[in-house]
Amino acid sequence: MPVIVAGIGLAIVISLGIGYLLYASERPPVYRTAAPSVRIDHPGENLVGPDWSGLYKTPPQASEERQTASQED
Protein backbone atom coordinates (compact mmCIF):
# COMPACT_ATOMS: atom_id res chain seq x y z
CA MET A 1 0.00 0.00 0.00
CA PRO A 2 2.71 2.54 0.81
CA VAL A 3 4.31 1.65 -2.49
CA ILE A 4 1.15 2.61 -4.31
CA VAL A 5 1.01 5.98 -2.59
CA ALA A 6 4.70 6.51 -3.24
CA GLY A 7 4.19 5.67 -6.90
CA ILE A 8 1.33 8.13 -7.27
CA GLY A 9 3.32 10.79 -5.44
CA LEU A 10 6.34 10.20 -7.66
CA ALA A 11 4.18 10.56 -10.75
CA ILE A 12 2.78 13.86 -9.51
CA VAL A 13 6.20 15.23 -8.57
CA ILE A 14 7.77 14.30 -11.89
CA SER A 15 4.88 15.64 -13.95
CA LEU A 16 4.66 18.99 -12.19
CA GLY A 17 8.42 19.29 -12.02
CA ILE A 18 9.00 18.79 -15.72
CA GLY A 19 6.02 20.97 -16.46
CA TYR A 20 7.48 23.82 -14.50
CA LEU A 21 10.91 23.39 -16.06
CA LEU A 22 9.50 23.48 -19.58
CA TYR A 23 7.46 26.56 -18.75
CA ALA A 24 10.33 28.41 -17.12
CA SER A 25 12.67 27.71 -20.02
CA GLU A 26 10.31 29.34 -22.50
CA ARG A 27 11.14 32.79 -23.76
CA PRO A 28 8.28 35.25 -24.00
CA PRO A 29 6.54 35.25 -27.37
CA VAL A 30 7.84 38.69 -28.27
CA TYR A 31 11.39 37.32 -28.29
CA ARG A 32 10.53 34.06 -30.00
CA THR A 33 8.75 35.58 -32.95
CA ALA A 34 10.71 38.76 -33.60
CA ALA A 35 13.18 38.87 -36.49
CA PRO A 36 16.88 39.42 -35.59
CA SER A 37 16.80 43.00 -36.81
CA VAL A 38 14.08 44.03 -34.38
CA ARG A 39 15.14 45.82 -31.20
CA ILE A 40 12.97 44.95 -28.25
CA ASP A 41 14.99 45.83 -25.16
CA HIS A 42 17.45 48.63 -24.37
CA PRO A 43 15.56 51.76 -25.29
CA GLY A 44 17.65 54.81 -26.02
CA GLU A 45 17.97 57.91 -23.93
CA ASN A 46 16.12 60.61 -25.77
CA LEU A 47 12.98 58.72 -26.69
CA VAL A 48 9.71 60.58 -26.64
CA GLY A 49 7.41 59.03 -24.09
CA PRO A 50 4.99 59.82 -21.25
CA ASP A 51 7.83 61.36 -19.19
CA TRP A 52 9.08 63.60 -21.92
CA SER A 53 9.85 66.96 -20.46
CA GLY A 54 10.08 68.65 -23.79
CA LEU A 55 13.80 69.26 -23.45
CA TYR A 56 16.57 67.42 -25.14
CA LYS A 57 18.72 65.82 -22.48
CA THR A 58 22.31 66.57 -23.40
CA PRO A 59 24.78 63.81 -22.75
CA PRO A 60 26.95 64.47 -19.64
CA GLN A 61 30.19 65.33 -21.53
CA ALA A 62 28.65 67.76 -23.99
CA SER A 63 26.56 69.44 -21.25
CA GLU A 64 29.70 70.62 -19.42
CA GLU A 65 31.04 72.22 -22.58
CA ARG A 66 27.71 73.79 -23.29
CA GLN A 67 27.46 75.20 -19.76
CA THR A 68 30.87 76.82 -20.04
CA ALA A 69 30.01 78.04 -23.52
CA SER A 70 26.69 79.55 -22.42
CA GLN A 71 28.40 81.28 -19.52
CA GLU A 72 30.71 82.95 -21.92
CA ASP A 73 27.81 84.42 -23.86
CB of 45 to another protein, least distance (A): 25
Q: In this chain, which stretch among 11-19, 44-52, 53-61, 65-73 interacts with another protein, using CB under 8 A?
A: 11-19
Residues 12-41 that bind another protein (CB under 8 A): 14-16, 18-19, 22-23, 25-26, 29-30, 32-35
Distances, alpha carbon 54 to alpha carbons 24, 43, 47, 59, 73, in Å: 41, 18, 11, 16, 24
What CA–CA distance (Å, rounded) separates 58 from 63?
6
CB of residue 25 vs another protein: minimum separation in angstroms?
8
